[in-house]
Structure 1
Amino acid sequence: MGEKEKSFANPPLQGKKMAYHKVGADQRAQYLDSDDLQATSLELEWDMEKELEEPGFDHFRLDGTVHQQVGITQNTDLDLEPIQPSASPKGRFQRLQEDPDYVSHYTRPPPKSNRYSFCWIFKLFCTALSLFILGVLIGYYGHVRCPPSPPPPPKPSDPHLSQEILKEIQAKDVAQIYRDLIQLRGKEDRDIAMKLLAQWTSYGLEDVQLVNYSVLLDLPGASPNTVTLNSTGECFYPNGQLCSKETKMLHSQDLLYSYAAYSAKGTLTAEVFDVQYGTAEDLLRIQNTANVSRKIALLKLGRLPLLYKLSLLEEAGFGGALLYVDPCDLPKTQNLSEKAFMVSLNGGGDPSTPGYPSIDGSYKQNRSNLTSLLVQPICAALVRKLFSSPEKAGGNEDCEPLELLATAERRTVTLEVQTQPTYKTISNVIAYLKGATIPDRYVIVGSHHSTLGAYSRQQWAHGTAVMTAFIQALMRKVKKGWRPERTIIFCSWGETVFGKIGSYEWAEDLKEVLQRNAVAYVSLHDPVRGRAVLHTIASPSLQQLATEVRKRHNFTCLGQDKCAEFNVSSVQMQGDSDYFINHLGVPALQFSYQDSTALETASFLSEALFPLHSTISNELVSSFSLHESIAKLTGEVILQIANNPVLPFNALDIALEVQKSFRDEHLNLERLLTMANALRESAQLFQSDEMRPANDPKERAPTRVRMLNDVLQSLERNFLVPQVPPGFYRNILYRLDERTHQFSVLLEAVEHCKLHQSNETLQAALSKVLSSLNSAQVSFKAGLNVFEAALLGSK
């Protein structure tokens, strides 16, 4: 063996000692585990001849393996014999095969590493396949069982959506709401407000508030006011009946509320002078013939605001006034000769907090009397009794106005007026429907509720029922995910009949916010007063929208094929729109049904509040088709203002309305006409160049649209004048009535000049109008400059 080792061809193996141990199979098998056996068998697979040919064999040491196995079994009693290294050309494996013990005890199992590799790949494949199949099943059944995602809500400006909302408004719904409301007649103001709050909340409105204010109301006294004819000693109640306990008990409610709220209190005995309508000509005629100091004026309602006429009487020196409505001024269908009425001498808001809200901690002024005159409304029948004026035959067909003859003996009467100024809590119901994209712009919708019993005439229920029906239809769409672009605020005002107190207090409370955010006011004050004419009042910027809506609906009037044609006009309107028009400069609109004869009679007769049984017929109430029409007309206007990307205001119509106001004027208005023409040119440029985004969606850049809307929103504020006579609008865009075309402040200034033989008042009025026109033109130019700068910046 030693010589063979020396002649070994592989030099790295020289000097190295390799040892093999021959182990008895029967002795070793009982101690070695399967891993040891496999390791031994693997070692024996080496082909020596091939190993000798491979380089690096000198790095392989088999001793380590053998020694490791020995180390593992060092505690066992094994008979291990040394195995000498072989240099046979046959190799170790062939030599071992020649050993008979090898064949019988060392049969080689298959390689474990190959078997493990195959099992591992197979398991991995099965796992991946199982996960894939499971994912497919979950995805399939999850897709089938999950409901499809709802379609995106329609855009608020979609015209089809507005029509869907309006179709939800039905006459039967308005009728049911109306009947529920009139059951509250005679309840306290808070009770009615709580009923509305609960009803609006039940429809889905989330932000509904009850806003309370403590205000000064001038309520009737414990006994009715009286008028006594001194020549006979006869005492009369305002309705013409003789004073007696039986009459007082029989008609206590009507008699108590036949009074003028906020009148002076006391007793006055004086001669009575007939001043007719109390115009400048009427007062000049009386003053030229007699001393009227501390006398009593017999005054007709109509033609001019009552507060203005009373201010003229006060200025002339009168001490009292008897108010009445001439039967010739009333519609032919109404006979109110024996009906007394109520009026309020409050121009607006809580008299004890003029110009600021009546909130907790506010200073309360002592202003229970808003005039120095003792004022008492009486019926036309009492006028005839007091002044021996017989009633003409033929009724209203051959009506002759009531007038005291100049040659008639002057009558002296004693007027007794007693009222009770009382602080009382009133409630407004305010509901917010937040806008989706422009929530800081408000479209305000208003009606009112009343607590005056018979004298409320249930008229408040008509407007409130219409607004509630619109809320009901609107919220059905809101529950499906829709919202308007701008915020809509629904308001039911308290104590409107005492001088629009609820709306004034709320608006004064939020004045700073409303000046910035209020966009428009839509009025639902007494929307059904007749059945023949659809009367529309709108500020100049909203006239085009009102006309388009009317043409699109083309509603019929009750009992007629078609409503009488009546143009949209900008005249002073009833109700709570006063503060929004005259203090905030907010565009306003109002639809109402009236009798045709009512529009032909004297204006401002609505200032008289007659009892319930003398108002609209049961025919109007029974059908409610007119209420449905008003709800749909008003609803479409509200939705267009709230949803259109560009406010649907027409700037050019404002300039045209200004030009019409100078028509047929005999004054020197050259400067005003020049300014009006310049205003029209600026409005035309603004309308043609900057209103394009309203018609072209490609130009509706958000910044550009926002600037445009800001200009449109503030246009009418330029026409607010600082001071006007009582009862006149500060917004000079509104005329007194349908018969006048001039600015109301100029019309009044001309009348005032007749009384004082001075043109100072006229010059002051002209300066106010000129300043308003100049302010509007500057506003147009500033808007154009802003747009140009924005366009240059974008380029």
Structure 2
Amino acid sequence: MDQARSTISKIFNGEPHSYTRFNLTQNMEGDNSQVEMKLSSDMDEEAVGNGVGDHRNHNSNGKPYMAQKLGRTPKNLCFMAVTTLLIFIIGYLIGYLVHRKKDLAPICAASVLPFKDAEVHETGAAPLMNWDDVKKLLAQKLTAAKFEPVFSEFSSDSHQAGSPGDEALGNKVLKKFKEYGMTSWTDEHFVKVQDPPASGSNRLVFNGKEERPTGFLSYSATGKVQGSILYAFYGQENDFMLLRDKNINLSGKVILVRAGKISFAEKVANAAKMNASAVLIYPDPADYSIGDTTQLFGHVHMGSGDPYTPGFPSFNHTQFPPVQSSGLPKILAQTITTGMAKNILKQLGGQNMPQGWGSYFKLGNESNIITVEVNNVPTEKKINNVFGVIKGFVDADRYVVIGAQRDAWGPGFATSTVGTSVLVELARSISDMVKNDGFKPRRSIVFASWSAGEYGSVGATEWLEGYVSSLSMKAFSYINLDGVVTGWSGFKVAASPLMHSLIESSLKEVNSLNKPATLFSQFGKGDWESNVLEPLKLDNAAYPFLAFSGIPSVSFRFTPANSDYQYFGTMLDTREKLNAATASQVPQLAETVTRFAGHIALRLVHDHLLRMDLMKYDRIIRTQVAQINGKVKAVQRMTPQLLPKALTVRWLISASGSYSRASRSLAADIENSNLEDIEMCRIINDRIMAVERNFLSPYVSPRESPFRHILLGSGPHTLKALINHLEAFRADDPKADADLFRNQFALATWTIQGCANSLAGDIWSLDNEI
């Protein structure tokens, strides 16, 4: 048996591509007897509404059945023939057991009832711990009191990306991962960012008064412009449309906008579309209570990652010809303080502000001239991402990634300290469960500490770009821990639709275990999706995982009441400010979000099948296809010369139907499959994993349009772009192009059809209906 134990130990500690259900070993005496072991999991889980057959995931709490083949010889058989009735009965029983054993083929595992008193033996094929025990173990490992020393350890007043403070924190995270017995490593990149000038400054001059703000916006265009200033509220598209409807000329203007509602990058991009020359962004007292002198920091890259190596990783810029992301702005951008903005606003002339914009100021006129000068300088920085992994026992090469930003402009307590602390505590808890409590995850969990998050998820995106081929086949989910605690009154989640059902069940479980349960109070009010879900935005670190790499992702946060956290991007993001925003419940809230993240991650690595709701995308596709169909018919009625009757939506509708049938077909395959068959589970899981990835358009370059997801990405390849293009036809916009639309239409149609084909399985499984 020592040899058997040695063989099993090698399986547990190794990293095979997959495991067979049985491990066969010879005994120490070298005879032909064999030991065959399997796992039985006959208890179905309680259904939670998953669109891919959640009820088929078992609890993995059955005892393995062990049968040993008993040695028999002709001499034994002859002896049994002439023995007493008692010996005959014993022989009969032995024969019965042997016959029973032969009937136990591997594919019939689900139909076998193990002996209640059979000895439990591990095979490495699946975890024996049921889900209720996993939940209880995680709850035991996590307490609010344990977060206080972790907060202290990972707090820092100065840890900007690439700085000694950032490197020191990275080393602390790496040390923790090693202490927990995890395999750990670092990933080094040389990235190019933009910092304020080391000598000199950025400045603005208005009516003879010069201001020199110390806050800045990385990736702004540089230079000096002079023009009349115009107030544009939050700088959203509809704000600029309202100004244009007032016959206000926007070309060449310096635009003054409030911070909030949308990202800095989106404000600048919207202004650039109107041919503005520069953008000034300030925190308005209606949204921020941070004083008149607080400086704002941020970036204006309409994308993520190093914008000077778009679509490929940054390891040495000297190896590449000069190239820039299409998301870099061509106009100047600068933050100013509330006090500076007040001084400008009170001197503006021109038209009154539209209703709802404020009643005390004017919009500005041609005589309100301002000079803006931006002198930011490009800087190359070495950054390190830090990783640790808890390896799975069945499919070790399939993994969920859990990540948190480590850097910040200033103290960054809510920005990075809390998320890093949650990451480390979750790694400690799950590692302890594996080492000391017998929990054996089927798949692996990768923990990641990112650098350069403040410059636009640079560390995370560069890692994605560097390993995109590997990750798209192996990483099945990303859980983002950035900014998870910013208030205590509400709770918001942004995620891939594939994960919505898993999120719902995790909320219920954590809410039932959490004390006080009011921390998830919004969940219980009416429709949970309308109360909790929000769109996944471009400036969220989970967005490139989803829209660039096709990895289902989730991001979540406790929020203040009716507002956003005011101190992101400032030097005021401290423990004291976060205490004030959370009624001093930071440790309790951190414990809750850690449990929530843990429930999602553990469910994904515990169950036979990945909990992904394929039918959610079916509803989204059908809704958008219906919108496109209606708008195409409307344009054909109004302007048939633009879109002739020959252009039909039939094939797009057909592709939508193909996805629907393919997703239902996969649900049927799950229902009819033996989930104790490890290879079958792996095949089904790979089909599920391919869904998000196949929504990435193969017809656009990741360098020019990195967010290629046709449903959740950005660019002309998306279904939303098709809808907007049809609106342009209806508005008689000169930018509307019939040939371009038909090309976009055809490529989007086949992208959906291709996703359906992949979901259907092997090429020989396809038919005309799919």
TM-score, with length taken from structure 2: 0.69
Read off the aligned partner of 1:668 and give its amino acid letter. Answer: V
For 1:234, the equivalent position in structure 2 comes to 209
For 2:578, the equivalent position in structure 1 comes to 616
Read off the aligned partner of 1:579 and give its amino acid letter. Answer: P
How far apart, in 1, do the equivalents of 2:473 and 2:314 lie? 22
How far apart, in 2, do the equivalents of 1:724 and 1:278 lie? 26
User: Is the aligned partner of 1:533 residue 2:490?
Assistant: yes
Q: Please, which of 458, 461, 464 is the counterpart of residue 420 of structure 2?
A: 464
Deviations 1:76-98 (A, max 9, x none): xxxxxxxxxxxxxxxxxxxxxxx
User: Is the aligned partner of 1:572 residue 2:548?
Assistant: no
Q: Structure 1 residue 182: deviation in Å?
A: 0.4
Read off the aligned partner of 2:504 and give its amino acid letter. Answer: T
For 1:476, the equivalent position in structure 2 comes to 432
Q: Please, which of 703, 707, 712 is the counterpart of residue 734 of structure 1?
A: 712
Deviations 1:498-544 (A, max 9, x none): 12110111111112111221211111111011111121112111111
Q: Structure 1 residue 634: deviation in Å?
A: 0.7
Aligned residue runs from structure 1 range 674-693, under 5 A: 678=654, 681-683=657-659, 685-691=661-667
1:410 match: secondary structure: coil
User: Is the aligned partner of 1:321 residue 2:279?
Assistant: yes
Q: Please, which of 179, 204, 207 is the counterpart of residue 202 of structure 1?
A: 179
Q: Please, which of 122, 146, 171 is the counterpart of residue 144 of structure 2?
A: 171
For 2:471, the equivalent position in structure 1 comes to 514
Q: Please, which of 597, 615, 637 is the counterpart of residue 562 of structure 2?
A: 597
For 1:712, the equivalent position in structure 2 comes to 688
Query: Relative to 1, partners in 2 of residues 1:306 and 1:767: Cα closer, same or farther, differing over 3 Å?
Result: farther
Q: Structure 1 residue 179: deviation in Å?
A: 1.6
How far apart, in 2, do the equivalents of 1:536 and 1:166 lie? 21
How far apart, in 2, do the equivalents of 1:560 and 1:284 lie? 40
Q: Please, which of 323, 329, 342 is the counterpart of residue 384 of structure 1?
A: 342
Q: CA-atom RMSD, angstroms? A: 4.0
Q: Is the 8 A contact 1:217 1:421 kept in 2?
A: yes
User: Is the aligned partner of 1:638 residue 2:611?
Assistant: no
Q: Is the 8 A contact 1:749 1:762 kept in 2?
A: no
Q: Structure 1 residue 494: deviation in Å?
A: 0.3
Q: Is the 8 A contact 2:204 2:212 kept in 1?
A: yes
How far apart, in 2, do the equivalents of 1:672 and 1:335 lie? 55
Q: Is the 8 A contact 2:390 2:431 kept in 1?
A: no
Q: Is the 8 A contact 1:586 1:717 kept in 2?
A: yes
1:572 match: secondary structure: coil
Higher mean C-alpha displacement, 165-174 vs 673-682: 673-682
1:468 match: secondary structure: helix
Aligned residue runs from structure 1 range 246-395, under 5 A: 256=214, 258-276=215-233, 277-279=235-237, 282=240, 285-286=243-244, 289=247, 292-328=250-286, 330=287, 334=289, 339-346=294-301, 347-360=303-316, 363-364=319-320, 366=322, 370-388=328-346
Larger Rg: 1
User: Is the aligned partner of 1:654 residue 2:611?
Assistant: no
Q: Please, which of 449, 453, 456 is the counterpart of residue 496 of structure 1?
A: 453
Query: Relative to 1, partners in 2 of residues 1:623 and 1:362: Cα closer, same or farther, differing over 3 Å?
Result: same
Q: Structure 1 residue 658: deviation in Å?
A: 2.4
* % identical equivalent positions: 19
Q: Structure 1 residue 296: deviation in Å?
A: 1.5
Q: Is the 8 A contact 1:537 1:590 kept in 2?
A: yes
Q: Please, which of 662, 667, 691 is the counterpart of residue 631 of structure 2?
A: 667
For 1:581, the equivalent position in structure 2 comes to 546
TM-score, with length taken from structure 1: 0.67
Length, aligned pairs only: 602
For 2:168, the equivalent position in structure 1 comes to 191
Q: Is the 8 A contact 2:476 2:552 kept in 1?
A: yes
Q: Is the 8 A contact 1:305 1:728 kept in 2?
A: no
Query: Relative to 1, partners in 2 of residues 1:265 and 1:751: Cα closer, same or farther, differing over 3 Å?
Result: farther
How far apart, in 2, do the equivalents of 1:417 and 1:463 lie? 33
Query: Relative to 1, partners in 2 of residues 1:776 and 1:308: Cα closer, same or farther, differing over 3 Å?
Result: same
Q: Is the 8 A contact 2:194 2:376 kept in 1?
A: yes
2:137 match: secondary structure: helix
Query: Relative to 1, partners in 2 of residues 1:322 and 1:362: Cα closer, same or farther, differing over 3 Å?
Result: same
Q: Is the 8 A contact 1:343 1:609 kept in 2?
A: no
Read off the aligned partner of 1:321 and give its amino acid letter. Answer: V
Q: Is the 8 A contact 1:284 1:755 kept in 2?
A: no
1:466 match: secondary structure: helix
How far apart, in 1, do the equivalents of 2:667 and 2:192 lie? 47
For 1:563, the equivalent position in structure 2 comes to 522
For 2:462, the equivalent position in structure 1 comes to 505
Query: Relative to 1, partners in 2 of residues 1:761 and 1:635: Cα closer, same or farther, differing over 3 Å?
Result: farther
User: Is the aligned partner of 1:221 residue 2:221?
Assistant: no
Q: Structure 1 residue 348: deviation in Å?
A: 1.7
Query: Relative to 1, partners in 2 of residues 1:532 and 1:203: Cα closer, same or farther, differing over 3 Å?
Result: same
Q: Please, which of 775, 789, 792 is the counterpart of residue 751 of structure 2?
A: 775
For 1:425, the equivalent position in structure 2 comes to 382
Read off the aligned partner of 1:388 and give its amino acid letter. Answer: K
Gaps of 5+ in 1: 1-148, 239-255, 391-397, 737-741, 791-795
Read off the aligned partner of 1:502 and give its amino acid letter. Answer: G
How far apart, in 1, do the equivalents of 2:424 and 2:741 lie? 42
Query: Relative to 1, partners in 2 of residues 1:557 and 1:653: Cα closer, same or farther, differing over 3 Å?
Result: farther
How far apart, in 2, do the equivalents of 1:673 and 1:570 lie? 30
How far apart, in 1, do the equivalents of 2:149 and 2:683 lie? 44
Q: Is the 8 A contact 1:350 1:505 kept in 2?
A: yes
Gaps of 5+ in 2: 1-118, 349-354, 635-646
How far apart, in 1, do the equivalents of 2:157 and 2:173 lie? 11
How far apart, in 2, do the equivalents of 1:728 and 1:617 lie? 38
Q: Is the 8 A contact 1:311 1:726 kept in 2?
A: no
Higher mean C-alpha displacement, 584-593 vs 556-565: 556-565
Q: Is the 8 A contact 1:275 1:286 kept in 2?
A: no
Q: Is the 8 A contact 1:306 1:727 kept in 2?
A: no
Q: Is the 8 A contact 1:572 1:729 kept in 2?
A: no
Read off the aligned partner of 1:165 and give its amino acid letter. Answer: L
Q: Please, which of 132, 143, 161 is the counterpart of residue 160 of structure 1?
A: 132
User: Is the aligned partner of 1:545 residue 2:533?
Assistant: no
User: Is the aligned partner of 1:485 residue 2:442?
Assistant: yes
Q: Structure 1 residue 175: deviation in Å?
A: 2.4
Read off the aligned partner of 2:609 and give its amino acid letter. Answer: V
Higher mean C-alpha displacement, 194-203 vs 474-483: 474-483
Read off the aligned partner of 1:720 and give its amino acid letter. Answer: L
Q: Structure 1 residue 439: deviation in Å?
A: 1.5
